Structure 1
Amino acid sequence: MSLSDQVALVTGAARGIGRAIAETLAADGVEVVVADIDADEAELTAKAITAGGGRAFAAAHDVRDEQSSADVVARILERRGRLDILVNNAGVGPRPGPFHTLTADEYDRVMSINARGLFLTTKAATPPMIEQRSGRIIHISSVVAKRASPNILPYAASKWAVIGMTQTMARELAQYDVTVNAVCPGVIRTQLHEGVVEKMSTLYDKTEDDTWQMFYDRIALGRLQEPADIADMVAFLASAKARNITGSAFNVNGGMEFN
């Protein structure tokens, strides 16, 4: 699925799923903009991709900041003159607890990154795609956007919002041959999920091993997903093979959720 000479902006790309997406796209010939709020880590990831024969450069980007979105897209256009792929991966995990005990600040913290941040980056990235009359926009949602889970209301709300935005954007951008899709990962042993498990263990008065086993028990295939599994789906959706797919949200969760 060669994507040679295309340009992709991947948010939250310094580590975890985002890094895997950046590496996979680069291996397929894409020049990847490794965007992350952690500029130093983004630079390390970009250098690793370049050392491996790919093309990448780092960009500091805070998805909560509208000006940051405008600046990173302007930098891409100045450097390459086009933007073909946007992957909205940047996100933050929940601090688990019954919703009636959560503060408004906690709700806003999650929504500002996972939902508002996605909106702001996509808003900035869309005009050049409309002008080109081509583009691929891929949002990273979650299994919890399709299967309710207790004690993570802000996170679930933000990921449900991602699917809603996916469908609305797909309708609006279809006339420009810009597709918009979402990927819904299941359980992946990243730094983000390890932090969630630690907090859930305290909440449920379980050991961390027992909490991990609780997740394993919900997965039909009986194994966690890897960042590369998500990256492979993103690469497919970015390719010409997916040219007639838009407005969809694809599960990559080992059978944790089938709808």
Structure 2
Amino acid sequence: MKNILLTGATSGIGYELAKQLCEKGFTVVASGRNEEKLSVLKQETGCEVVAADLSDAEQTVSLFNKAIELVGTIDVLINNAGMISRKCPIEEFTLEEFEEQYAINLRAPALLSREALKVMKPNKSGQIINVVSTAAKRANETMSIYSAMKQGLAGFSAILMKEAQPHGIKVTSLFPGGTDTNFREAERPEYMHPASVAKAVIQVLELPADVVMHEMTFRPMVEIE
């Protein structure tokens, strides 16, 4: 089975992904900032864990190296971690908020993808899945910084696909819509359950070897766009 590095694994979609991937027999290195939650996840699933703050570039690169040390190689990178500090009009965002959202939502997946290519190109195989957001396809007021970073990730991922595919590496950009996670202040039961989103991600992993999904947009039934 494949070795998978998964970011943002301590809650929401990432937590459900870690559980389901381990149940299917994948070797998972799960990452997050909360060491206590990572410890619980390891006990529940048997996955390997590495604590890392993706707002720190050095920790981000170190995460990939530690994952290699733990399992030997990485066959699949799932850039799932993401954050939004708060919703606010453009004139109210702070420099600190901008830089943190840039670091986690755009720089971290770019750095991890860079490191993954160094391992995957010599093997002429591999897969990188970038969890973007339908926010990258819309212009939502009060979400300017988050949307900008997710649009940036979508653009980066599209170029990554073109550079990686000639080397046998699959790249997929996922655009999930509203999901009922702790990412939101209020519960939204009409939105997709994180476990449902995780199943959709795994379907991309389980496609036939001669098929690559470049992009996939999926939403809850209550969302039209």
Tell me whether 122-131 or 239-248 shows the greater mean CA deviation. Answer: 239-248
Identity of aligned residues (%): 25
- Answering whether residue 130 of structure 2 is matched by residue 134 of structure 1, we say no
1-side partners of 2:86 and 2:51: how far apart? 25
Residue identity matched to 2:155: G
Match of 1:205 in 2: none
DSSP 3-state at the match of 1:130: helix
Matches within 5 A, 1:70-81: 70-81=61-72
Task: Note the alpha carbon deviations across 1:97-138, whole angstroms, 9 max, x for none.
Answer: 111222232222211111111112222222111121111111
Residue identity matched to 1:111: Y
Match of 1:119 in 2: 110
Q: Deviation above 6 Å: which 4+ runs of structure 1?
A: none
Contact residue 48 and residue 70 of structure 2 kept, 8 A: no
Contact residue 50 and residue 67 of structure 2 kept, 8 A: no
Residue from 2, 7, 14 that aligns with 1:6: 2
- Answering whether residue 28 of structure 2 is matched by residue 32 of structure 1, we say yes
Task: Note the alpha carbon deviations across 1:37-89, whole angstroms, 9 max, x for none.
Answer: 11221121121112xxxxx1111122233332332222232332221111111
Contact residue 170 and residue 246 of structure 1 kept, 8 A: no
- Answering whether residue 222 of structure 2 is matched by residue 231 of structure 1, we say no
1-side partners of 2:222 and 2:78: how far apart? 24
1-side partners of 2:141 and 2:170: how far apart? 32
TM-score under structure 2 length normalisation: 0.91
Residue 37 and residue 242 in structure 1: after superposition, are their counterparts in 2 closer, same or farther (change >3 A)?
farther
Would you say how many aligned residue pairs link Structure 1 and Structure 2? 225
Contact residue 114 and residue 158 of structure 1 kept, 8 A: yes
Structure 2 segments unaligned to the other structure (5+ residues): none
Residue identity matched to 2:178: V
Matches within 5 A, 1:106-255: 106-194=97-185, 197=186, 223-241=190-208, 243-254=210-221
Match of 2:43 in 1: 47
Q: Give 1:242 shift.
A: 6.5
Match of 2:49 in 1: 58
Residue from 83, 86, 89 that aligns with 2:77: 86
DSSP 3-state at the match of 1:14: coil
- Cα RMSD for the two superposed structures: 2.0
Contact residue 47 and residue 57 of structure 1 kept, 8 A: no
DSSP 3-state at the match of 2:87: coil
Q: Give 1:159 shift.
A: 1.2
Q: Give 1:25 shift.
A: 1.3
Q: Give 1:93 shift.
A: 1.8
1-side partners of 2:19 and 2:81: how far apart? 16
TM-score under structure 1 length normalisation: 0.80
Residue identity matched to 2:30: V
Structure 1 segments unaligned to the other structure (5+ residues): 51-55, 198-208, 217-222
1-side partners of 2:208 and 2:33: how far apart? 32
Richer in helix (by share): 1
2-side partners of 1:228 and 1:112: how far apart? 26
Structure number, greater radius of gyration = 1
Contact residue 22 and residue 45 of structure 2 kept, 8 A: yes
Q: Give 1:255 shift.
A: 6.0
Q: Give 1:168 shift.
A: 0.7
Contact residue 179 and residue 243 of structure 1 kept, 8 A: no
Residue from 77, 81, 93 that aligns with 1:102: 93
2-side partners of 1:188 and 1:66: how far apart? 28
